């Protein structure tokens, strides 16, 4: 295997967390939460640019990894969960409480796949298909969190 291919698989598996036998998506989401925590002080254009570039990289890496590993949306590929968690946490001040809530919401939407998450998962293929449903789950988590904060008057 070429060095480039090993590097792609390293990124696709979230530094190897996707190779954990039980719940690789959950462990990948934890890596995403850690990355979101690292950039949680960023605002505006730098944050948006980082997320856009990371999501584009996730699509490319996922596409290549799918071909290397074979099969549609291999379970070891968790860079999509990392990207989804970035979207879930975007623009929300992270504390231990908000991190747990956002993580839980993201995993709920990623696992249950309500519309449009499931629709994207079924309709798209390749790297775009691998990543799009997780971005949608992340956006849903972000919006549900914000709506909940607004409803209870803490935002």
Which pLDDT tens digit goes with each residue over 64-117?
A: 999 999 888 899 999 999 999 999 999 999 999 999 999 999 999 999 999 999
- pLDDT tens, 22-39? 999 999 999 999 999 999
At 126, which helix (H) or strand (E)?
helix 126-152
Please give the pLDDT value at position 71: 85
Q: Contact, 32 vs 55, CB < 8 A? A: no
Q: Contact, 77 vs 129, CB < 8 A? A: no
CA dist., res. 129 & res. 117, Å (int)? 10
Classify residue 141 as exposed, middle or buried by CB count within 10 Å of its CB (0-12, 13-18, 19+). buried
Confidence band for 1, pLDDT divided at 50, 70 and 90: confident
**Cα dihedral 135/140/141/142 (nearest 10):** 90
């Amino acid at each position: 295997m070429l060095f480039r291919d090993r590097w792609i698989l390293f990124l696709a598996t979230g530094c190897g967390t996707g190779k954990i036998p039980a719940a690789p998506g959950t462990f990948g989401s934890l890596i995403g939460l850690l990355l979101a925590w690292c950039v949680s002080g960023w605002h505006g254009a730098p944050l948006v640019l980082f997320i856009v570039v990371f999501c584009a990289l996730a699509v490319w890496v996922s596409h290549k990894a799918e071909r290397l590993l074979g099969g549609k949306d291999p379970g070891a590929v968790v860079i999509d969960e990392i990207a989804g968690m970035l979207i879930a946490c975007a623009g929300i001040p992270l504390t231990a409480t908000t991190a747990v809530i956002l993580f839980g919401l993201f995993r709920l939407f990623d696992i249950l796949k309500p519309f449009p998450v499931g629709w994207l998962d079924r309709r798209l293929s390749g790297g775009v298909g691998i990543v799009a449903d997780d971005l949608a789950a992340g956006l849903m988590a972000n919006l549900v969190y914000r709506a909940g904060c607004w409803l209870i008057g803490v935002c």
